[in-house]
Amino acid sequence: MIWLSVALGAAFAVTVLALGGVLPRAFTGDASGVDQAALLWPLFALMQPLNGAVFALDGILIGASDGPYIAGSMIAAFLACTASLGVVVAGDFGVRGVWAALAVLIVVRAATMGARFARRRWLVTGWA
């Protein structure tokens, strides 16, 4: 399921990259909005395969009733994202910095959830 989600995310990324000049114009006619979208579009698109892995891992671990670990993973990702946003604000990196901070959130979630999945502590039969 994880590899299927990554593959689908990659296909979505390729599609989004190919339509980068068209899709933003479907949502706004404002030239500055389209210009901002052009700056963010590659980061948005390239996040999709990793997003697929994280969301598949979420589903697997939710199904295994591993909610407390998922909550801890999200807290760690939130703290990393918050620290990144502090750097973004201090460095005046604008909206690209905000999206980079969101990428940090996804990377931390992927690392923590992937580590949990690999250790197999979530894999139990019957009531724990």
**For the chain, which residues make up each domain, given as ranges?**
2-119
Q: How confident is the model at residue 122 (pLDDT cuts 50, 70, 90)?
A: confident
One DSSP character per residue, 3-21 reads: HHHHHHHHHHHHHHHHTTT
State pLDDT tens for residues 63-100.
Answer: 888 889 999 999 999 999 999 999 999 999 998 999 99
Question: What's the pLDDT score for residue 123?
Answer: 75
Q: Report whether 99 contacts 38 (CB < 8 A).
A: no
Q: Which amino acid is at 28?
A: T
What mean pLDDT is reported for the chain? 92
State pLDDT tens for residues 14-33.
Answer: 999 999 989 999 998 999 98
Distances (CA, A) of 106 to 64, 103, 118: 21, 5, 18
Q: How confident is the model at residue 126 (pLDDT cuts 50, 70, 90)?
A: low
Question: What's the pLDDT score for residue 5?
Answer: 97
